[in-house]
C-alpha cells in the first residue's frame, strides 16, 4: 500500500453512541482545545513522533455528532465535568462554539429496553441519522464509536450466526439484539467503520462480523484499556519473562460517575470483569486466583482508584507480594484514546482495510481479532504491532 498525503476527501466524522456522556463530552472539549492550540495532545498515541506522518486526520478537523437518550445539552455537561475536575473551567469559553455545534448533531438514541416496533424499524432510523450526518457535513467518512453504558453479557443464539437470518429476525421482532449490537448493525448499514470502547456485546455478534466483511468495513474493540488493565498489560509479561509464578492477582476498583453507577449492577460488572481477566490469563499462561471487585462510590465523582495485590513465588518457592495503586480521572484517560481510535480506524479504511483491525489491540482490554488467531495482550508487543502497521501503511 502506497501512502498518499491527503488521501481521502473530506474531514472525518465521529458519531458517538452515548454522545452526552463523560467520555464523549471530554473528547469534544479536548479536540477543540487541541485544535485551537490551547493544550498539548497529552495522552494521544497518534501524536507521538512515531506516527507523525501516518496520514491521520488532524484532531481539529474531526466533526462530532451522535446518539444519546440523555437530553442534557453538551455545554451544560461540559460545565459539570469542569466542576468535577476533569479539565480546567478556563477551557469552557474557548470551546463553547465547538460544543454547541456538536450538540446540534446529537439525535435521540434507541431505548434501552425493547418497545413494540421491530428492531429493523429502529435501526433504519438510526442509520438515517448517521447517513444524514455524513451528507450534511460533507464528510469523507464517519467512524461510529460506542462509549455508552456497559451492558450485561448476552447469549449467542442461532439467529445471531447468519446475516440473512438476523435481517429476517430484526424485521419481525423488537428484541433480537441488545442496544450496543443494534447500533453496530446501524453503523454497518450506513457504511461506517465501528469502534466498541465498551465490553458490551456490540459487534462481537457473529452475524455482524460477517456483515462487516460483506460490506468491506473495518471495526475494532473492545473495552478501552485506560487504567488498571493498562498497568496489568505492562506488569504481566514481567512476571512471565522472569519465570516468577503468580499465585493470585486481586483488585478493587472504587469509582463514581455514570460508569460507576452502571457497574454497580452485578450483570454489567460481569461484562467488565470478564474483559479484565481475559488478558491476564493469556499473559500468565494460566488462570490465577483472585478477581476484581468494583464498588460504586458516588462522592468520587469522575475519579477512580484501583488497588491491586499480587502474590507470587520466586526461587525455591519463596513467597513474595507486589501492590500498586492507580488513581485517575476515567474520562480524561479515555477521551484521547477515543480520538486516536477514530483517526486510526479512518486511516485504515482509507488504505482499504476491512474486518477486525488487530493492530489496534494496544487500545483494548479484550481485543477483537480474526477467527483462528490467538490474542496478544502484552502491552509492548501490541505497541510494536501498531508501529509495524504504520510502517507498512507508508510503504
pLDDT in tens, 115-154: 889 999 999 999 999 999 999 999 999 999 999 998 988 8
User: Among candidates 189, 220, 187, 186, which has minimal Cα distance to 204?
Assistant: 220
pLDDT band with cut points at 50, 70 and 90 for residue 281: confident
* Mean pLDDT of the region 376-394: 88
Question: What residues contact 139, with CB distance under 8 A and at least 6 apart?
Answer: 10, 11, 12, 13, 63, 133
- CA separation for the pair 49, 54 (Å, rounded): 10
pLDDT in tens, 202-220: 999 999 999 999 999 999 9
Phi, psi of 102 (to 5 degrees): -65, -40
Do the Cβ atoms of 230 and 364 come closer than 8 Å? no
Residue 7 has pLDDT above 80, yes or no: no
| Interior angle at CA 130, CA 136 and CA 187, nearest 5 | 150
Q: Give residue 237's pLDDT.
A: 93
Please report, to the nearest 10 degrees, the dihedral formed by the alpha carbons of residues 181, 182, 185, 190 taken in order. Answer: -140
Map out the domains of the chain with their CATH numbers. 12-224+332-394 (3.40.50.720), 228-329 (3.30.360.10)
pLDDT of residue 373: 57
Distance, in Å, from the CA atom of 75 to the CA atom of 70, rounded to the nearest integer, reads 13
pLDDT tens digits along 72-105: 999 999 999 999 999 999 999 999 999 999 999 9
Q: Which of 272-281, 293-302, 368-377 has the lowest mean pLDDT?
A: 272-281
Closest CA to 119 of 175, 66, 161: 175
Q: What is the pLDDT of residue 2?
A: 27
The proportion of the chain whose per-residue pLDDT surpasses 90, expressed as a percent, equals: 74
Residue 258 has pLDDT above 90, yes or no: no
Is pLDDT at 370 greater than 80 in this prediction?
no
Question: What CA–CA distance (Å, rounded) separates 224 from 198?
Answer: 6
In the chain the beta strands, taken as DSSP E runs, fall at 12-17, 63-68, 106-108, 141-146, 193-196, 218-221, 245-255, 292-296, 303-313, 319-329, 355-356
Contact (Cβ atoms closer than 8 angstroms) between residue 271 and residue 150: yes
Distance CA 43, CA 47 (A): 9
Averaged pLDDT of the chain: 90
Q: What pLDDT was estimated at residue 8?
A: 46
Q: Which residues contact 77 (CB under 8 A, 6 or more apart)?
A: 20, 22, 25
- How would residue 273 be classed by pLDDT, with cut points 50, 70 and 90? low
Per-residue pLDDT, 207? 95
More confident of the two residues 36 and 8: 36
Cell numbers 456522556: residue: 21
Q: Which set of grid coordinates corresponds to residue 297? A: 462510590
Taking residues 182-197, report their average pLDDT: 97
Q: Is the pLDDT of residue 272 over 70?
A: no
In this prediction, residue 264 carries a pLDDT of: 67
Amino acid at each position: 500500500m502506497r501512502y498518499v498525503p491527503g488521501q481521502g476527501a473530506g474531514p472525518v466524522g465521529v458519531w458517538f453512541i452515548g454522545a452526552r456522556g463523560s467520555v464523549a463530552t471530554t473528547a469534544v472539549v479536548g479536540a477543540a482545545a487541541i485544535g485551537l492550540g490551547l493544550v498539548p495532545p497529552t495522552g494521544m498515541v497518534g501524536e507521538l513522533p512515531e506516527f507523525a506522518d501516518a496520514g491521520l486526520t488532524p484532531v481539529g478537523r474531526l466533526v462530532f455528532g451522535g446518539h444519546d437518550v440523555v437530553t442534557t445539552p453538551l455545554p451544560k455537561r461540559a460545565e459539570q465535568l469542569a466542576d468535577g475536575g476533569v479539565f480546567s473551567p478556563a477551557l469552557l469559553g474557548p470551546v463553547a462554539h465547538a460544543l454547541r455545534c456538536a450538540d446540534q448533531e446529537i439525535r435521540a438514541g434507541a431505548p434501552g429496553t425493547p418497545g413494540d416496533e421491530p428492531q429493523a424499524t429502529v435501526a433504519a432510523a438510526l442509520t438515517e441519522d448517521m447517513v444524514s450526518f455524513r451528507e450534511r457535513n460533507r464528510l469523507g467518512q464517519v467512524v461510529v464509536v460506542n462509549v455508552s453504558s456497559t451492558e450485561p453479557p448476552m447469549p449467542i443464539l442461532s439467529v445471531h450466526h447468519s446475516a440473512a437470518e438476523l435481517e429476517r429476525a430484526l424485521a419481525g421482532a423488537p428484541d433480537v439484539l441488545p442496544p450496543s449490537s443494534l447500533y453496530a448493525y446501524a453503523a454497518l448499514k450506513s457504511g461506517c467503520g465501528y469502534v466498541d470502547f465498551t465490553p458490551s456485546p456490540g459487534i462481537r455478534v457473529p452475524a455482524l462480523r460477517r456483515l462487516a466483511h460483506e460490506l468491506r468495513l473495518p471495526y475494532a474493540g473492545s473495552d478501552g484499556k485506560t487504567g488498571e488493565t493498562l498497568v496489568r498489560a505492562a506488569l504481566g509479561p514481567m512476571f512471565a519473562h522472569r519465570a516468577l509464578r503468580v499465585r493470585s492477582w486481586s483488585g478493587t476498583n472504587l469509582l463514581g460517575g455514570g460508569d460507576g453507577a452502571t457497574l454497580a449492577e452485578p450483570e454489567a460488572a460481569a461484562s467488565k470483569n470478564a474483559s479484565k481477566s481475559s488478558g491476564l490469563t493469556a499473559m500468565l499462561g494460566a488462570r490465577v486466583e483472585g478477581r476484581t471487585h468494583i464498588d460504586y462510590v458516588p462522592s468520587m465523582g469522575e475519579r477512580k482508584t484501583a488497588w491491586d495485590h499480587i502474590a507470587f513465588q520466586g526461587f525455591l518457592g519463596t513467597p513474595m507480594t507486589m501492590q500498586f495503586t492507580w488513581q485517575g480521572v476515567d474520562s480524561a484517560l479515555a477521551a484521547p484514546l477515543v480520538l486516536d481510535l477514530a483517526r486510526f480506524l479512518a486511516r485504515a479504511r482509507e488504505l482499504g482495510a476491512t474486518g477486525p483491525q488487530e493492530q489496534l489491540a494496544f487500545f483494548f482490554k479484550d481485543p477483537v481479532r480474526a477467527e483462528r488467531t490467538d490474542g496478544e495482550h502484552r502491552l509492548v508487543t501490541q505497541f510494536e504491532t501498531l508501529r509495524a502497521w504504520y510502517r507498512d501503511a507508508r510503504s
